Structure 1
Amino acid sequence: MQLPKLTPPADPHVVQDFFVPVFWGITDADEIAAFARAMAKRMAGGVHFADNFLSWGRNNSMFDDQPFMTAWQGNLGDHAIDQATVWRRYILACAGYHAVQLEGDFVECGCYRGTAVKVVVDYLGGPEFPRQFWAYDLFEHDDSDPHHAMPEHGPDLHARVQARFAGYPTVRIVRGRIPDVLRTEAPQKISYLHLDLNQVGAELAALEMLFDRVVPGGIVILDDYEWSMGYRAQKLAEDPWFDARNYRVFPLPTGQGLVLKR
């Protein structure tokens, strides 16, 4: 396959700042945004403030990766969350860049609208993406589900996500509950596994069924691992699960966790 190529920055001395005031777990977003803007004026370049974390003096490398920027910007739509989570998306894109050079399929459990899948696929070839990508979700929600509802859950979401990937022959949108659906529709070898299920039981069930199928050198990304608000139970359950197998999760400031399979 033709991997995306990095090109030198237009001006190597300029680092792009990024400020998207989209936050979770607060009621005074305007006050927080005003504080961050005032602080940013005092800081060195390379400011990032979005998705609940503020940093400065960073290269903000995602903005120098033009193929990624094309893929990310092409999938923003009008969803502010997709803009705010650019660093999370770049973690996935870099993981995909690594994993696509290994044997094995890509898997995402909890694909929701399919944006994270599509950014990775578009970054790595679009309709010519060379691996099978399995994207799982229920696409609906009812009060018996242990995870929280998302705004676009509903009876038409599955069809909309399928339509979004029309023309992407290697992307499989699979509707079903984890782990039940994995017993009948799942790959035997995986190089990229992204879990974003928002609930501890389903995440552990997915790990039980899929982790041993991740090939040596493959990557596992846990979307909620380092988030304390609403998701700490996942970390508290996943840490001993990985510890029993002599693995440690890399906690990332994006709120994700990363595991390298050996």
Structure 2
Amino acid sequence: MIRTLLVRGLLVGLLAGLVAGGFAFVFGEPRVDSAIALEEAHAAHEAPAGHDHGEEELVSRPGQKAGLFLATGLYGLAVGGIFALVYAGLRGRVGPRSEGGLALAAAGMAFVAIILVPFVKYPANPPAVGDPDTINGRTLLYVVMVLVGLAATAIAVATARRVTAGPWARWAAGVAAFLVPVIAAWQLLPAVNEVPADFPATLLWQFRVASLGTQLVFWTAFGVLFGWLCDRAVRRRAAVPV
């Protein structure tokens, strides 16, 4: 059964990754192009007359755009495989009883814990935003927020399972148990604000919305497709005469 779930997760992850790649291509890449144009104009303005600071790109922009689908596809494969293994461990232990309901709930929690929680504190930035010298520190802070989101999710699930007063009480306890460590991390971890003063706020906002939207499209497509295939497999097994 685990092998079947793993293959299902890989295939659905690949498909969802390509769908998310299409969303990023349509809504995100134009913003990246605009940010790169601003960065190049700024560099040209600061360069001394007759001196070229330009560096040849290792990968051209058309190549980068084509590689976007490769990147999101590989991302989907990796996430799909990990999700399938986690899902196999959750079946029958926590969450909704139906296969599809559990898949949707798990995908939703993964999006909140892995994507939304760190994004609120450290949102994505386009080219021309961010100091290259601080990239290691910023990456570490982002990883810390991901770990906080995962730990908060585990605490919330464990807390909700201990509450027997009813569904509303379980939900309230779970949400509270999730928010306490997340809000504490948001307040305690250092802020990162390296947006240049002259960078267009509209472009920054549009890029961040497109970035978050790409992840939302991925996790929605993945959860719906994975859950549908799980429910379909259950119906097929039930239709087989014993």
| TM-score past 0.5 threshold | no
Select the structure that is richer in helix: 2
Question: Which protein has greater RCO, CA pairs closer than 8 Å, 6+ apart?
Answer: 2
Q: Which has the larger radius of gyration?
A: 2
TM score, norm. by length of structure 1? 0.25
Select the structure that is richer in strand: 1
